[in-house]
């Protein structure tokens, strides 16, 4: 990712990880298609999901994700961060998720 793009992202008040939840359309609107490719490459280098691939949910709302079939723990970020493959972005104090499905118990 170019230094100019990094500066634009920072100027907009975002960190790289924040762009995961913005979605492809909004990210492209803000930075363009070429920049979206650069952003996705940078996310991939960090081992994070690309824009539009999944979303990230943070504490305390990530408690909802812990036992959901669509989520997995995100070890590269804070200890209470979960990756959602259904692309649900929970607000900071969400009490439920309409797409939540309990994980099947392993025998």
Q: Please tell me whether residues 1 and 49 are part of one structural domain.
A: yes
- Establish if 97 belongs to a structural domain: no
The tens digit of pLDDT for each residue in 16-44 reads 988 999 889 999 999 999 999 999 999 99
| Confidence (pLDDT) at 3 | 93
70-100 b/e (C-beta count within 10 Å ≥ 16 → b): bbeebeebeebbbbbeeebebeeebeebeeb
**Domain count of the chain?**
2
> What range defines the domain where residue 76 resides?
56-88
Above 90 in pLDDT, residue 104?
no
The tens digit of pLDDT for each residue in 45-97 reads 988 889 988 889 888 888 889 889 999 888 877 778 898 999 899 888 888 89
* pTM exceeding 0.85: no
């Amino acid at each position: 990712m170019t230094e100019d793009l990094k500066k634009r992202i920072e100027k907009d008040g975002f960190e790289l990880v924040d762009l995961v939840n913005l979605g492809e359309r909004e990210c492209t609107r803000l930075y363009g298609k070429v920049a979206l490719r650069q952003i996705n490459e940078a996310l991939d280098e960090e081992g994070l999901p690309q824009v539009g691939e999944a979303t990230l949910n943070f504490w305390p709302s990530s408690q909802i994700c812990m036992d959901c079939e669509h989520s997995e723990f995100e070890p590269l970020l804070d200890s209470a961060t979960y990756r959602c493959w259904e692309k649900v972005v929970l607000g900071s104090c969400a009490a439920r998720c309409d797409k939540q499905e309990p994980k099947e118990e392993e025998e």
